[in-house]
């Protein structure tokens, strides 16, 4: 059974930084396309970015609103994916979900971690 | 890419059926066979119900079925049960720039 467990959310002031972690079990993160999705209060889900599997190049891609501010990385020894968020804005307030893709679909989701950007 | 449009709510009595629509465009729902449906109980991880428009993953009851007509995908829940009360949302592949777009979500009340 695949489990994705996010951590690292919390309250941060505008302009601040936060790093989210996603520890995986039941799958190997370097063999998977790992994606971050967020859901702002009262809104639908939004794709944030993803990191491809090692065999597919291991590169990361980002949505336009976060490009240049967010970075997705991976620690294969810990089977964990990270989302480093810098220059946070109030619009970044959301529940952030770690997900895993398969066959061009998101198959697995974590429970999410809440990030609140407020002064 | 805009969000996919879903009705905000749907309801039915136990044993009845409910169908939820998910309307996109020819650039997403109407163009790719990568449409998925998820069930989300608040505070828990969303669960995949349907992928590739009509395919149920192992373990998902056959009460859940997916279909598509043009730019609109649909999820039908037959034989409603109390535990089906949850939020449901759709997703579609939308191309390389923004790979995934999501529905606005539908709250199903049983």
Read off the DSSP letter of residue B51. B
Q: Is A59 in the B-facing interface, judged by CB distances under 8 Å?
A: no
> Which pair of structure tokens corresponds to residue A20?
């989210």
Tens digit of pLDDT at every position of chain B (110 positions)? 679 999 999 999 999 999 999 999 999 999 999 999 999 999 999 999 999 999 999 999 999 999 999 999 999 999 999 999 999 999 999 988 889 999 999 999 99
Distance CA A113, CA A97 (A): 7
CA distance A113 to chain B (A): 10
Distance CA A89, CA A65 (A): 10
CA distance A23 to chain B (A): 14
Distance CA A65, CA B1 (A): 12
Per-residue pLDDT, B67:
97
Q: Which of B28, B32, B46 lies closest to B87 in space, CA to CA?
A: B46
* Three-state SS letters, B1-22: CCCEECCCEEECCCCCCEEEEE
Q: Is A61 in the B-facing interface, judged by CB distances under 8 Å?
A: yes
Contact flag A50-B46 (C-beta cutoff 8 Å): no
> Which pair of structure tokens corresponds to residue A107?
């198959």
Give A60-118 pLDDT, tens digit per residue: 999 999 999 999 999 999 999 999 999 999 999 999 999 999 989 999 999 999 999 99
- Give SS3 for A119: coil
Give A23-37 pLDDT, tens digit per residue: 999 999 999 999 999
| Residue of B44, B89, B98 lying closest to A45 (CB–CB) | B89
Contact flag B104-A44 (C-beta cutoff 8 Å): yes
């Amino acid at each position: 059974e695949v489990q994705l467990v996010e951590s690292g959310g919390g309250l941060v002031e505008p302009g601040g930084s936060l790093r989210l972690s996603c520890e995986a079990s039941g799958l190997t993160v370097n063999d998977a396309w790992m994606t971050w999705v967020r859901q702002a209060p009262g809104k639908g889900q939004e794709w944030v970015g993803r990191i491809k599997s090692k065999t597919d190049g291991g590169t990361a891609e980002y949505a336009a609103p976060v490009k240049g501010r967010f970075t997705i990385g991976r620690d294969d020894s810990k089977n964990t994916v990270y989302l480093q968020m810098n220059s946070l804005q109030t619009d970044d307030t959301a529940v952030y979900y770690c997900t895993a893709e398969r066959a061009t679909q998101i198959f697995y989701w974590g429970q999410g971690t809440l990030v609140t950007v407020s002064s | 890419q805009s969000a996919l449009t879903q009705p905000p709510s749907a309801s039915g009595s136990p044993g009845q059926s409910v169908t939820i629509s998910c309307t996109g465009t020819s650039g997403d729902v109407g163009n790719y066979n990568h449409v998925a449906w998820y069930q989300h109980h608040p505070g828990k991880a969303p669960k995949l119900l349907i992928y590739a428009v009509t395919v149920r993953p192992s373990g998902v009851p056959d009460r859940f079925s997916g279909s598509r007509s043009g730019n609109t995908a649909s999820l039908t829940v037959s034989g409603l049960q109390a535990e089906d009360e949850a939020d449901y949302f759709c997703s579609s592949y939308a191309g390389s720039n923004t790979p995934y777009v999501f529905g606005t979500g539908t709250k199903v009340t049983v």
